[in-house]
Amino acid sequence: MRRLRQLLRKRSLRAAEHAVVVEGAELLSVALAAGAPVEAVYVAPEGADVPAVVEVTGRVLADGGRVFDLAPGVMERVASTVTPQPLLAVVSYTPTPLDELASATLVIVCVDVRDPGNLGTVIRSADAAGADAVVCCDGTVDPTNPKCVRATAGSLFHLPVAEGGGAVDAVRALSRRGLTTVATVVRGGTDYAAFDWTGPVALVLGNEAGGLDDRLVATLDAGVTIPMAGRSESLNVGVSAAVLCFEALRQRRTAPGREGGPAGSTMSVMDAPTQAPGDDAGTR
């Protein structure tokens, strides 16, 4: 149990052991369906007779995994949530190397996105919209953080998530592979619906409060803006990622032969205002 507690709390241990802790029968079921190897499952007394728990632990046992029944009160001492799920599982997980994204045509790059719930929503939205990968650059929260894992709703096991290292180097690497690198700007960018998302694109999202560093912005190819009708000046990074990813999906679905698509003008971010370029559309 000590190791399980440490895996929940220590990023370094999760990285060293190539493991992630998933919480709940539903999330474990998604991991199993994705073919992720399950090392061990821990079940609290109140979960022993829950049909979903019984079903998923049966699948783990059939695959040669281990299932441990916990004594009363143990789960509450180990879990990272106030009201824990009656099941925790240790699942093998290894990030995707950046050089394996050579054929990607829609990549979401997260730079200094620090909230695990936000990153989890970005990964879930990217997965739902058919993106090829999410790249987590230095300063971004660990995608195996328990809160992030919960927020992905299983998409962590569907969508390649790569460690990007330094943001400038990661963006340059994607650019060399033919992807147009795009940031969001609060105002003055191309309307996101007029931008041509049908070609290879790397969408760069930045820190929730400070946006993207000017030095990084200067290396990007284009800037897009999400027009807003109300008084809010910005959107949550996860919401913005969903809006932009699904616009890319819409254009790609309607493009003849999935190529070409609506012609949208692009603009250099050097020509657009760079004040408060956000992790989405000026995300705060």
Residue-wise pLDDT tens digits, 168-208 = 999 999 999 999 999 977 777 899 999 999 999 999 998 87
- Please give the share of the chain, as a percent, with pLDDT higher than 90: 72
What kind and span of H or E run contains 165?
Answer: strand 161-165
Mean pLDDT of the chain: 88
Q: Given this model, what pLDDT does residue 284 score?
A: 30
What whole-number distance in Å separates Cα of residue 66 and Cα of residue 52?
17
Question: What's the pLDDT score for residue 68?
Answer: 96
Question: In the CATH hierarchy, which fold is given to the domain comprising 2-92?
Answer: 60s Ribosomal Protein L30; Chain: A; (3.30.1330)
Among the four given CATH numbers 3.50.50.60, 3.30.450.30, 3.40.1280.10, 3.40.50.720, the one describing domain 98-258? 3.40.1280.10
Predicted local confidence at residue 206, as pLDDT? 87
Q: What is the pLDDT of residue 256?
A: 77
Contacts of 142 (CB under 8 A, 6+ apart): 11, 14, 15, 116, 136, 148
Residue 108 to residues 3, 194, 213, 272, 280, Cα–Cα distance (Å): 33, 19, 17, 21, 11
The encoded tokens of residue 102 equal 């050579």
Question: How confident is the model over 233-283, as pLDDT tens digits?
Answer: 778 889 999 999 999 999 999 987 654 433 333 333 333 333 333 344 433
98-258 has the same fold as 2-92: no
Q: What are phi and psi of 162, to 5 degrees?
A: -110, 150
Residue 131's pLDDT band, with cuts at 50, 70 and 90, is very high
Higher-confidence position of 229 and 209? 229
Neighbour tally for 214: CB within 10 Å: 11
> Tens digit of pLDDT for each residue in 17-62?
999 999 999 999 999 999 999 999 999 999 999 999 999 999 999 9
What was the pLDDT predicted at 41?
Answer: 97
Antiparallel, parallel or unpaired: β 19-23 and 133-137: unpaired
* Sheet order of strands, 106-110 included: 161-165, 133-137, 106-110, 201-205, 180-184, 222-225, 190-191
Residue 46 and residue 253: Cα distance in Å, rounded?
46
Higher-pLDDT residue of 6, 281 = 6
Mean predicted confidence (pLDDT) in 140-164: 96
Query: Is the model more confident about 279 or about 224?
Result: 224
pLDDT at 1: 85
Q: Which two tokens stand for residue 6?
A: 């440490």
Query: From CA 206, how far away is CA 71, in angstroms rounded?
Result: 44
Query: What residues does each domain of the chain span?
Result: 2-92, 98-258
Query: What is the helix, strand, coil percentage profile of the chain, to 5?
Result: 35, 20, 45
Report, in angstroms and rounded to the nearest whole number, the Rg of the chain calculated over CA atoms.
20
